[in-house]
Amino acid sequence: MFDVFYIGSNKALKSDIPFAQKVKSADDITPKTKMF
């Protein structure tokens, strides 16, 4: 599973990926997953 973040209004993404998190800027992104 991945962390999904978006900026602005994105209703299509929110309906397709309900766990997506809205942030105000890229600095607000704090992922909890890592890829190896």
Task: Check pLDDT > 90 for residue 1.
Answer: no
Dist. CA 13–CA 10, nearest whole Å: 6
Domain ranges of the chain: 1-36
DSSP 1-36: ----EEES--HHHHHH-TT-EEESSGGG--------
pTM: 0.70
pLDDT in tens, 7-35: 999 989 989 999 999 999 999 998 888 77
- Residue 7: the pLDDT is 94
- Residue 32: the pLDDT is 85
Structure tokens at 4: 């999904």
From residue 24, alpha-carbon distances to 9, 21, 27, 29, 33 in Å are 11, 10, 8, 9, 20
